[in-house]
Amino acid sequence: SRIGAESFVCPTCRFRAMDPLNRMLDGGRGVLKQFVLRPPLLPKTATSEASLKFQLNLPRIKEWRKAGHNVEVRMCRLDSYKAHQTWPEMLEFKINGRKVFDIKPPAAGHKRLDVPQKISAELKPNVNTISVHIKDPDLKRFALCIARSAPC
With 60 as the cut, is the pLDDT of residue 23 above it?
yes
With 80 as the cut, is the pLDDT of residue 1 above it?
no
Q: Kindly report which listed range (7-11, 36-40, 106-110) carries the lowest average pLDDT score.
A: 7-11
With 90 as the cut, is the pLDDT of residue 152 above it?
no
Distance CA 15, CA 36 (A): 13
- What percent of the chain is predicted at pLDDT more than 90? 79
Distance CA 24, CA 121 (A): 17
Contact present, 113 and 37 (Cβ < 8 Å): no
Name the pLDDT band for 59 (thresholds 50, 70, 90).
very high
- Arithmetic mean of pLDDT, 90-115: 95
- Arithmetic mean of pLDDT, 125-142: 96
How far apart, in Å, are the Cα atoms of 53 and each of 50, 76, 96? 10, 19, 10
- Helix H, strand E, coil C: the string for the chain is CECCHHHCCCHHHHHHHCCCCEEECCHHHCEEEEEECCCCCCCCCCCCEEEEEEEEEECCHHHHHHCCCEEEEEEEECCECCCCCCCCCEEEEEECCEEEEEECCCCCCCCCCCCCEECHHHCCCEEEEEEEEEECCCHHHEEEEEEEEEEC
User: Which residue has better confidence, 133 or 43?
Assistant: 133
Q: Kindly report which listed range (42-46, 48-52, 56-60) carries the lowest average pLDDT score.
A: 42-46
Q: What pLDDT is recorded for position 4?
A: 54
Q: What is the pLDDT of residues 70-102, one digit of tens each?
A: 999 999 999 988 899 999 999 999 999 999 999
